[in-house]
């Protein structure tokens, strides 16, 4: 067991691992798969800056998860930054580019729930990380 886990409440350790697992096993692989199959601009309908942002999440999702598992505060800070910016980017894509809605986009719904989990637990988790 990594040192920080021994002295941290069980709920905080579980929260960190859930967040890290989602970032590592859902977020990063999806962005890596997009990069490998379609390059830096996987979505023809999206502007270049948005494609580059989503492609960069292959790296940032992985970094946040690794920092979380190590018990670094930078992990939860990076996870918060990721969910806020990713949610904003996806909302922009859904409403302004695709002219769709929240109810028609299950991916955006899942991202919103995940963002609520990360942002809701971050203040409590952060104080237990180094």
pLDDT of res. 68: 87
pLDDT of res. 52: 95
Confidence at 54, pLDDT banded by 50, 70, 90? very high
Burial class, 2, CB count within 10 angstroms (exposed 0-12 / middle 13-18 / buried 19+): exposed
Average pLDDT value for residue range 49-60: 94
Note whether 66 and 27 are within 8 A (CB): no
3-state helix, strand, coil in the chain (%, to 5): 80, 0, 20
The model's pTM is 0.84
Note whether 119 and 80 are within 8 A (CB): yes
Q: Does the pLDDT value for residue 1 go beyond 60?
A: no
Q: What is the mean pLDDT of the chain?
A: 88
Q: Does the pLDDT value for residue 5 go beyond 70?
A: no
């Amino acid at each position: 067991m990594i040192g920080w886990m021994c002295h941290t409440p069980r709920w905080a350790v579980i929260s960190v691992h859930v967040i890290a697992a989602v970032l590592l096993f859902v977020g990063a692989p999806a962005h890596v798969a997009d990069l490998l199959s379609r390059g830096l601009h996987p979505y023809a309908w999206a502007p270049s800056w948005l494609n580059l942002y989503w492609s960069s999440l292959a790296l940032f999702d992985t970094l946040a998860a690794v920092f979380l598992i190590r018990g670094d505060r930078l992990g939860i800070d990076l996870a918060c930054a990721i969910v806020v910016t990713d949610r904003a980017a996806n909302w922009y894509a859904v409403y302004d580019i695709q002219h769709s809605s929240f109810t028609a986009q299950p991916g955006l719904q899942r991202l919103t729930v995940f963002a609520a989990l990360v942002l809701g637990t971050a203040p409590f988790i952060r104080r237990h990380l180094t």
